[in-house]
Structure 1
Amino acid sequence: MKVAVIGSAFSGNKGAAAMLESGVQQLSARDAQTRFILLSMYPRSDAEQNEYPNLRVLDASPLRLGVLLNSAALLHRLLPPLRKTIERAVPEVGALATADVLLDQGGITFVDGRGKFLIYNVASILPALLVGTPVVKCAQAMGPFTSPLNRFAAKTLLPRVAAIVSRGAVTHEHLTGLGLDNLHEGADLAFTLEVTDRDAALAQAAVDMTFFEGGDVVGVSPSAVLRKSAEAAGEDYVAEVQRMIDHLTGTLGKKVLLVAHSARSTTDKTHNNDLPLCREVFAGLSSPDRVLFPDEELSSQALRYLIGRCDVFVASRFHAMVSSLAMGVPTLVIGWSHKYREVLDMFGLAEWAVGHDAYTDELFAERIGLLIDQEEQVRSQLEASLPQVKAKALRQIDVIEDVANA
């Protein structure tokens, strides 16, 4: 089986890396002959970080994807005699045309109010549709579809993909409202990500593990996406996170693991990169000696291992939340979309989601204090629910195989 993948990456957002590597791990486990082509937003850094011999990285950086790949795919459809020439000239189109399936692993797509991302959402799947390769949209958040442009795009393209896997009840309801018959319920594939002894050793080599001795560690994963929206509203997000951590280290006497769950070590650009934000936060803390901040780009598996060493976690990055839940760590979520709450709902823990629009220092103190008090109860609930969530995530592997082998 030959599988093309788009919307995920090794570098940058480690949630995207977790989705990518989970897919490679699970599909390869079923068929060792499976080969993967990653159509990458960051082709150079992804090629450097790729450790999978059965995966090849090709260039689908935004401008190339939007202009060259889509244009070449259209010509491929319209001019059958030139198809082989086009496939040789534009290898990404050739890879799509010869793939058994394209996996779209965008974490959140076709959502009202995200106009510039809608262009990318369309451009990611249109070339495959043009060359006749079936598309599976892996478990992701989608909708609502009330804005005219987003609803038009969704109603035009989504019925044409082979299968759509929703990532929770809210997304499923939004998609059901479009009248789709290619819809499957699922859970984020990153819940199945395997952390090996090698991954643990790399994490242990990156930080001073004595920090975790004696417990009392709270993980905190801030978000550059949340910072952008907060500052657009005139709020000081850096100061907010600093007060949050100072409350944990000062008032509550905890230690804090500060996690950049999106990281690009070779740039200071903030897209898919929380390192600059975390550096600013760390520089202004009252008790930096009580905070462990790995100031580098770690793998999704290494981050998951470290997150699993925490007693409680505070997540504003979606896949930092997935990793903490997957490791059985009680989690308080401070988010901006339905995508957080619908995943917590799978564990019966939606009460631990706080919308950033409702956030105050007082609310944070109240909720984190209560979560710490109820840590063992919440941990037991996570452990009881996790096998069903993982099984639900794995069902999309069946969907992918069915589509690819049809």
Structure 2
Amino acid sequence: MQPEAGTPAPRRPVRLTTVGAAFAANKGAASMLQAVIDKASGHLGPCEIDVLSAYPREDRAWASRAGVRMVPWPPVSMVLGYPLALLAFLARRAGLPARPFCRMRALRALHDADVVVDVSGISFADGRGFVTLVYNLLITSTSLLLGRPTVKASQALGSFRTRLNRLAARAVLPHLAAVCARGGGTERNLADLGLDNVTPAADLAFLLDLPESARQRAAAVAGAAIGDDDLTVAVMPSQVVASYCARLGVDYPDLMAKTVDALVERRQARVLLFPHAWRPSTQPSRMNDRPLCAAVYERVTARDRVTLIDADLSPHDLRALISLADLAVTSRFHGMVSALCTGTPPVVVGWSHKYREVLEPFGMDEQALSYEALSVDSLVAAIERTLAETDKMRARIAEALPAAQASSERSLERIAAALPPVPAGS
């Protein structure tokens, strides 16, 4: 049956490919990824989404539940595929087809995308090591070599004081369709590079929904740990911060355990202790807080008041768990974001500017403590001050949250603006 004359042919779905985040391991990255999946169609229309994952085995089931395609892209594939991307770039420059050089599924997903979205939480930051810098380059520049418009969704970037990091950032960032700066600190860092493609945008995880089903699952997981009259505290340690503390001779697991004991002794608190980055392995890594949480729990004296939750939870379920608490003590950035989204006052122990720049618009930058000056006394004092000002802090969060959520939409607006015209019916 032919359409009537003058009836526009249907447009095919937008092909969107994400890089820099997976469902597994770091659940902060998963929160941003899930927000893109949930909200993209509202800005772009119908979408087909490919998620390039460094954890294909763990992500296969998550992607199926989310209704997207998971495409394996572990680090070895990134490295091996880069020469092919360079050949594809040279072919494009010579006016030849580039796709024949895309011999890997991940390269084809990038080449065929209408737009590529980098949802890394932080990139091109000084002091993170050569391997991480190479990873940042591969993640962002491969799609550029293939000629695809690429947007860095809201994330922290910089500083750019070290020569190698500055050169790498200058080589890549000016060529992106947009660089979305997550806060004032990142904006100042990017201004130092003289870029003209920067858009301020709050973290994408501010747009993550909290379905009732997640609340029910969280209540079931927390179980008897939640009492009507008890102070409930969510505690989310970070192996990243633990590693930074170890360099200074600070025993972070012991410090967190003593802080938990102080909460129980002073406030008769009930504590939910859980990882915001989870992998099946029992080996600690920057993408796995599971062993760290176990180590903290083993050192706690008042274990009858502490519930250790060791499970691979979704971003929705983690946010729902945080919503059950009266206070969140976290070293994970997106644990902090979920606390803000649920009106839960956070106390944050961080390692970079990324925490404070997000807290500033809420008038709560004093809630960000640096690992460099961390002690049990300083952390407990910050917690006591927060508990004394809980109502005031909740009011600040409620007042500032709508603006943060509106700002978060700008990443999606920049993604939509980067789309090339799609021929009707193609």
TM-score (norm 2): 0.91
Note the C-alpha offset of 1:315: 1.3
8 Å contact kept, 2:225–2:305: no
Q: Partners in 1 of 2:87 and 2:214 — Cα distance? A: 44
Q: Partners in 1 of 2:291 and 2:225 — Cα distance? A: 26
Aligned to 1:168: 183
Aligned to 1:17: 30
Q: SS of the counterpart of 1:112?
A: coil
Q: Partners in 2 of 1:269 and 1:375 — Cα distance? A: 34
1:76 is aligned, of 88, 92, 104, to: 88
**Relative to structure 1, is the Cα distance of residues 321 and 53 closer, same or farther in structure 2, using a 3 angstrom cutoff?**
closer
Percent identity between matched residues is: 36
Q: SS of the counterpart of 2:311?
A: coil
Note the C-alpha offset of 1:69: 2.1
1:279 is aligned, of 294, 308, 312, to: 294
Aligned to 1:308: 323
Say what the alpha-carbon RMSD is for the aligned residues: 1.6
TM-score (norm 1): 0.96
- Equivalent residue runs for 1:116-195 within 5 Å: 116-195=131-210
Q: Which amino acid in the other structure matches residue 347 of structure 2?
A: L
Note the C-alpha offset of 1:335: 0.7
Q: Which amino acid in the other structure matches residue 137 of structure 1?
A: K
- Equivalent residue runs for 1:51-130 within 5 Å: 51-52=64-65, 54-65=67-78, 67-79=79-91, 81=96, 83-87=98-102, 89-115=103-129, 116-130=131-145
Note the C-alpha offset of 1:283: 1.4
Q: Partners in 1 of 2:116 and 2:134 — Cα distance? A: 18
Q: Which amino acid in the other structure matches residue 73 of structure 1?
A: A
**Worse overlay, 74-83 or 116-125:** 74-83
- Equivalent residue runs for 1:179-218 within 5 Å: 179-208=194-223, 211-218=226-233
Q: Partners in 2 of 1:53 and 1:148 — Cα distance? A: 41
**Worse overlay, 356-365 or 241-250:** 356-365
Q: SS of the counterpart of 2:194?
A: coil
Q: Partners in 2 of 1:401 and 1:30 — Cα distance? A: 6
Q: Which amino acid in the other structure matches residue 191 of structure 2?
A: T
Q: Partners in 1 of 2:326 and 2:240 — Cα distance? A: 25
Q: Partners in 2 of 1:219 and 1:53 — Cα distance? A: 27
Map Cα deviations across residues 114-169 of structure 1 (whole Å, 9 max, x no partner).
12211100010111010100110011111111100011111111101110000000
Q: Partners in 1 of 2:230 and 2:221 — Cα distance? A: 19
Ranges in structure 1 where 5+ consecutive residues have no aligned partner: none
Ranges in structure 2 where 5+ consecutive residues have no aligned partner: 1-13, 422-426
**Relative to structure 1, is the Cα distance of residues 129 and 290 closer, same or farther in structure 2, using a 3 angstrom cutoff?**
same
8 Å contact kept, 2:284–2:292: no
8 Å contact kept, 2:276–2:318: yes
Answer with 1 or 2: which has the greater Rg. Answer: 2
Map Cα deviations across residues 238-291 of structure 1 (whole Å, 9 max, x no partner).
111111111111122211111211111355352311111001111121111111
8 Å contact kept, 2:183–2:357: yes
8 Å contact kept, 2:52–2:72: yes
Q: Partners in 2 of 1:10 and 1:264 — Cα distance? A: 11
2:242 is aligned, of 224, 227, 241, to: 227
Aligned to 2:394: 379
8 Å contact kept, 1:211–1:292: no
1:257 is aligned, of 272, 283, 291, to: 272
Map Cα deviations across residues 297-347 of structure 1 (whole Å, 9 max, x no partner).
111110100101111111111110011011111111111110000000011
Note the C-alpha offset of 1:73: 0.9
Q: Partners in 1 of 2:286 and 2:369 — Cα distance? A: 24
8 Å contact kept, 1:215–1:310: no
Q: Partners in 2 of 1:52 and 1:69 — Cα distance? A: 28
Q: SS of the counterpart of 1:329?
A: coil
**Worse overlay, 169-178 or 32-41:** 32-41
Note the C-alpha offset of 1:52: 4.6
